[in-house]
Structures are given as C-alpha cells and as structure tokens.
Amino acid sequence: MTGIQKAEFSKVHATPLLVEIGCEEIPAGVAPRMARALRDALQQCLRQAGMEVALGWGATPRRLIVHGEHCPQMQPDREEEVWGPPERVAYVNGEPTKAALGFARKVQMPLAAFSLVEKGDQGRYMRAVRTIKGRPVTEILAGALPDLLRSLPSPKRMRWQDGDAREDTFIRPIRWIVARLGDEPINFVYAGVRSGFRSRGHRIHGAEGFIDVKNPWQWLNDQGVMADWNLRRQYILDGLQAQAKNQGVELVTDDELLDEVTDLTEWPEIVPSKYDEKFLKLPEEVSRIVLKQHQRCFAARQPNGSMSSVFFAVANLRSLQLEIVARGNARVVNARLSDAMFYFERDPQKTLEDRVELLSQVVFQDGLGMVGDQVRRLRGFVLDNASRLGVDPNDAQRAAYLCKSDLTTGLVYEFPELQGYMGGVYARMDGENEAVARGIAEHYLPAGAEDHLPTSRIARAIGIAERADKLLGYFHLGLQPSASADPYGLRRAAIGLVRLLAEESMAVDMSLNEVLNEAAKQWNQQRVTIAVDEQTCGAVRSFILDRFLGMAEAMGVEPRALDAALHASRELPLYRHLGVARLLSDFGRSETGQAVAAANKRVANLLKKAHASVEEVREEWLQEPAELRLFAELLETEEHWADDPENQLQQLAGLRDAIDVFFDEVMVMDKDERIRSNRLALLGRLRQLFLRLADVSRL
C-alpha cells in the first residue's frame, strides 16, 4: 500500500496563465457564475497538483476568462511513502520472500530501497520513500480542462453541428479557446474547437488577434471589451449616476437590473432618453416595471421625489449618433406605456370584488383546482388565526378575499410583474381602507431571499397562508423540487415562509407545525380537490427546516446552533428558535459550552446504547455523593426554571461542575441492574431538562 507525504517544494519559475472560452452570447445571470466556477476549478486542479496559484476571473456575454500573473511552469517534485507487506510476510529467516520481491517489482523499486519500519502498533513493515518528478503544468491542465468545462454550472447545455459533429456540450456554441502558460500552449480540444492564442474583441469595435497573456484585460479593452465584470458594473453605475446628474434627475437604483445589463454588455454606453410626459399619470411602479422588464432601462425621479419621464438605456456599443438611439428607445417605451395606459383606464370599470368570481376560471395548478378555491382557503386561514397573526380579522379576511383579483385585470395580464402592486392601487380606487389595500399590495413579498419583507401585518399573514398552502398542495401532487430543477418555485416559497416566520419585528406566535396544520385544515375542510395528510405535512416541514438551516449563517447564527435549537422537546415559533440559536452560537464557542455539549453527547449516547426510557428517579437508590449532588442540583434547577432562554442557558451551564464530577466518580453502567437503571433514569431526566431549551449535544 502507498501513502502520500506532504513535501517541501522548491520554488520554480512562474509565468502568466490565461484561459479564455469564447462563445455566442450567454444569457444574463449565467456567465459570472460559470467564470467563477472555472476559476475555482482551475485553482483546485493546481492545488491538488501541489501548487497554490492566485487566479482572477472575468465574464462578458461572449467570453469566460481566468487569468493568473504567476503560475509555475512545472509541478514541484514530491516525495511518496511506499509501504509494503509486514515483516512476517516479507522475510523468512532474514531472507526476502516472493511476496517482498513481487511487491518491489510491482512498484518498480529495488528491494534495497526498502527498510523495515514500525507502523504504529501493527509491527514492522517494508517501507521506502521515492521522489515523484513533477509534470509540466501545461500537460496537467490540458488533461484537466475538458472535464472542467463539462462540469461548469449551466441552466441548459446545447450540442450543435456547424460542420463536424460536436459531442461536447456548452451553454452556447464555442467559437474560440485561448489556453496558454506564458508562451507555452495548453493543447486540448473541446466541442470541436482547438485551443490557441487568438482571441476576438467586440463584435463591432474589435478585431481578432493574439491576446496579451501578461495583461489580457488591457488588450481586450483596446478591442472594445471591458472583460472585468466587477469593473464593468461599477463603470455602468458611475455612468448612470453622472448622466442622471446631467439631466437634473435622480437615478432609481436597481441592483438586479444593474447586474443584468452588466451581463449583456461588453462595452457599455449610457443613453439618456425621455418618454411622453402624459404617461406620468400612471402609477410609478407601472412605468418602472415597463422600463425594466421590457426594455432593460433605468427609471428616474425628479428632485422632489415624483417620477420623471427621463430614463436611461445601456447600449452595447459606442455610437456617434446617440440621439438617434435615444429616439428609438423612446418610441418603443412610449408604445409599451400606451398599452399600459389603455388597461389602466379600462380596468377600474369593474371593482376587485366584482372580479372575485372570475377567479373561478383561473387555474391555480392542474390537480389543485382554481385560484378562487385558493382565495377561500387563504381567507379561512387568516380569519381563523387572526389573533395569533396579530391582525384585525375583518381587514385581514377582506384583503385575503381580494388579494388575487388583479390577476383578472388587463394590466396585470399584460405585465405580470405588477401583480399585487396593482391590486393595491385598484383597491384604493375602489375605496377600500389603507390596511386592506396595503395588505393586498405587499402580500407577495418577499419575492426572493434578498427581497425586503412586507411592512403590513396583513400582508405577512396572507403571505404565510399562501406559501404554506402552495407547498402542501404541490407536495401532495409529488411535484417536489429535484436537485437541479425547481420549476414551481417551491424553494423560494419555503425561504419566503421562513423569513416571514423568523422575523422578530412583527412576531407571529405560531410554530411551523401549527402553520402547516392550519393550512392543511383549510384544504381538508374545502374538499374541492385534495385532502392533505400528515405524511405530506411532515415532508413539507422537513423541506422548510432544511431551507431554514441553509439560511442560518445569513441570519447571523451557526448552523449547528440552529440545529440544536430546532431539536428542543417543545416546538416554538421560528423567531424564538432563532433567538435561542443566537445564544447557543456564542455559548458553543466558549469553554463551558464545549464541555456541556460534550457531556450531553455522552449522555445521549449512553441512553441510546442502553435503550433507556425516562423513568422516575428513586432517590433512596442513589449511593455516590456525586450522583446525589447532581440529583439535588437538577431538582433545584427544575424548580426555579427561568422564563427566558438566556437565563435558562445560564442555569444549564451552572450544572456543568456537577455533571463533570458525576462522570469522573460514578460508574453509570453498574453491574447491579437496579443501580444502573436508576442512574440512567437520572441522566434521562437531565437530558429532558436540557431539551426544554435545545439539544445541546448537537453543538
């Protein structure tokens, strides 16, 4: 058998490394993720070969780039430890056996290179150390790069044929590959394209040529390509803010849109324009959404905060006639806003309440009935649980009743991104009170993991009901997300539900089980389509808690601390579990916390191994001073159990000395069955006390 020993590597000559994959335009949101993954994969490949190399990355719609200024040309030599058979097999009467000679031939080393060395407590074994010569880095990377490209994360991969058949797949057709280490080529073929030294610049402003391996960023910049994604994003933001200042307006910042236009441009150019001022009569969000979703343009506000008709496009070229581009943008935006104005003027002819009956014609999901059915479930949920959700029952049920009516309006049908928002606008126009209107407008929030939470308690209540309702229904149909696909947005729904339930500023005093059981009750009472059973509720609960644990670090707690809190014997509202996890995060890092956690693990393992159930502790059967002390302190803690988690944790930490002394001085698994069972009962009672707060053994 063989084993690798870490060796001291000598410094070797380093030179620039460049890998560029050029292709047809990659969809927005994909190229940066792929480029970072390629950078990470190359660093890992080099690390496994014994080299730590700092690499940077770049991404545009047409290329992924990885570059390092200093990469070794040769893999360092390394020492390998080779172990052979044990002495009793390798030698008889001091002479090598066939086994020893055969092993030496197998590893291609002379027998004289081996000596007999102690291997732990196993005795002496044949052992030798040999030097493995390093390989050229170009050879290592040439062998690795095709597999690295195949493994890059991609929402969809394609195979194309523009001549010879191409077996390899990629997000878009590959047109060129640059792979070089200094002046040395890294030779490989992928998707029918052979690597080389020639790159391409901007489609319009650039040319093809030999890219500078030392400074590819400047070479590409000279060819009309800002290849550094982060610098390009900052350049666009600075340009937008400068143009807004020139136009006397304030930019409406949108990080999501900024990322998107960064992904879609190689040489961004800011183009200010202006739509017809008559469209300022539209609600602000309508014009912003039309600009963003349909033209990828940025909106602006007047200094007084009102909407401006000025907007900004980001073109992917230098233009000497920007006014022509601006007029073209304005013409298209005016046409889209004209459509929006038509529907905005027509939709209020029918109130939201009048539209509720139309929801019976809108499919919620095949097998799950209509949106009208869903509205009745949401209304029932918020009405039944109004006090625990912290909402007025009349306003809450009214908002739930009307919250989906805007799906039947022309404006939302034409611009689906406006759902919810337009419901709030139309509710105010119908004369609904502000609490109802705001609840309708915000009930879709949060739309993602980074989106802001609703400011309305009613919106939160409806959002909780809707997400629980959706998850139960889709899980009942077996439409759970796979590892690579989530077509119905169930992970997003679970994350949104966690964020709503874990928020302390508008605390919801319902545990996750209670939320799911109440949502299941609405399905089961309605009896329109399906009945939700306990198994489905359990599967949804596990799915949600997995998302909760995955969000732990983003919420400022350690995952193991949150896991410990969630395994308490009593289920609490998620925001209270999160509060316990915050306490445990600090506690678990302390010396006391680590000792208490270790003791809890020992207790849990003893009880599990002994298959012990919690029984009454017989004080007269306690013999040792240490167990009598632990029992006394346990009774004292139970009697004066605090109300708040912080003091509870202090009380549990106060048991540390008694627990330590108990394990030092007491043999739990005594030969006397009566004594043994009583001590296990004592430990079981101790564990039950800890579980009132959390399963500390998981820290």
Q: Give the model's pLDDT for residue 614.
A: 58
Check: pTM over 0.95? Answer yes or no.
Answer: no
Q: Give the model's pLDDT for residue 278.
A: 96
Tokens standing for residue 326? 């601006």
Q: Name the more confident of 606 and 25.
A: 25
Residues 18 and 64 placed together within one structural domain of the fold: yes
- Per residue in 625-654, pLDDT tens? 999 999 999 999 999 999 999 999 999 999
Query: Is 300 inside any structural domain?
Result: yes
Query: Is 178 inside any structural domain?
Result: yes
Q: Report, as an integer, the average pLDDT of 189-202.
A: 95
Residues 435 and 533 placed together within one structural domain of the fold: yes
Tokens standing for residue 614? 């919690």
Residues 443 and 502 placed together within one structural domain of the fold: yes
Q: Give the model's pLDDT for residue 417.
A: 92
Q: Give the model's pLDDT for residue 129.
A: 86
Work out how many domains the chain is built from and give that number. 5
Residues sharing a CB contact under 8 Å with residue 664, sequence separation 6 or more, in sequence order:
626
Q: Give the model's pLDDT for residue 520.
A: 97
- Decide which of 348, 382, 415 is a domain's last residue: 348
Residues 368 and 310 placed together within one structural domain of the fold: no
Res 484 pLDDT > 80 = no
Locate tokens 């074994």: which residue? 125
- Per residue in 208-241, pLDDT tens? 999 999 999 999 999 999 999 999 999 999 999 9
Contact 267, 318 (CB under 8 A): yes
Q: Report, as an integer, the average pLDDT of 557-565.
A: 96
Residues 430 and 412 placed together within one structural domain of the fold: yes
Residues 605 and 478 placed together within one structural domain of the fold: no
Res 488 pLDDT > 90 = yes
Q: Report, as an integer, the average pLDDT of 242-264.
A: 96
Output DSSP code: residue 171: S
* C-alpha span between 358 and 361 (Å, rounded): 6
Q: Centre a 10 Å sphere on the Cβ of residue 255 and count the other Cβ atoms it contains.
A: 10
Q: Give the model's pLDDT for residue 156.
A: 85
Confidence band for 149, pLDDT divided at 50, 70 and 90 = very high
Residues 401 and 480 placed together within one structural domain of the fold: yes
Q: Report, as an integer, the average pLDDT of 392-397.
A: 97
Long-range (24+ apart) CB contacts under 8 A made by 518-525 are 518/381, 518/384, 518/385, 518/468, 519/377, 519/381, 519/465, 519/468, 519/469, 519/472, 520/472, 521/384, 522/376, 522/377, 522/378, 522/380, 522/381, 522/465, 522/469, 523/377, 523/469, 523/472, 523/473, 525/380
Residues 185 and 334 placed together within one structural domain of the fold: no
Contact 402, 432 (CB under 8 A): yes
Question: 576: part of which helix (H) or strand (E)?
Answer: helix 574-589
Query: Is 621 inside any structural domain?
Result: yes
Query: Is 241 inside any structural domain?
Result: yes
Q: Which range of residues forms the domain containing residue 441? A: 353-551
Residues 372 and 310 placed together within one structural domain of the fold: no
Res 696 pLDDT > 50 = yes
Residues 546 and 443 placed together within one structural domain of the fold: yes
Query: Is 569 inside any structural domain?
Result: no
Output DSSP code: residue 353: H
* C-alpha span between 697 and 564 (Å, rounded): 7
Query: Is 201 inside any structural domain?
Result: yes
Least confident range of 460-464, 565-569, 658-662, 669-673: 669-673
Res 347 pLDDT > 60 = yes
Residues sharing a CB contact under 8 Å with residue 312, sequence separation 6 or more, in sequence order:
240, 243, 244, 251, 270, 271, 272, 273, 297, 298, 300
Query: Is 546 inside any structural domain?
Result: yes
Residues 70 and 83 placed together within one structural domain of the fold: no
Least confident range of 109-113, 181-185, 440-444, 651-655: 109-113
Phi–psi pair at 128, nearest 5 degrees: -145, 160
Res 3 pLDDT > 60 = no
Q: Report, as an integer, the average pLDDT of 42-68.
A: 96
Residues 524 and 546 placed together within one structural domain of the fold: yes
Which CATH number is 643's domain given? 1.10.730.10
Amino acid at the residue 12 = V
HEC string of 379-398 equals HHHHHHCHHHHCCCHHHHHH
- Per residue in 283-332, pLDDT tens? 999 999 999 988 999 999 999 999 999 999 999 988 778 889 999 999 99
- Decide which of 187, 222, 257 is a domain's last residue: 222
Q: Report, as an integer, the average pLDDT of 577-598.
A: 92
Query: Is 572 inside any structural domain?
Result: no
- Decide which of 507, 532, 551 is a domain's last residue: 551
- Per residue in 443-468, pLDDT tens? 999 988 788 999 999 999 999 999 99
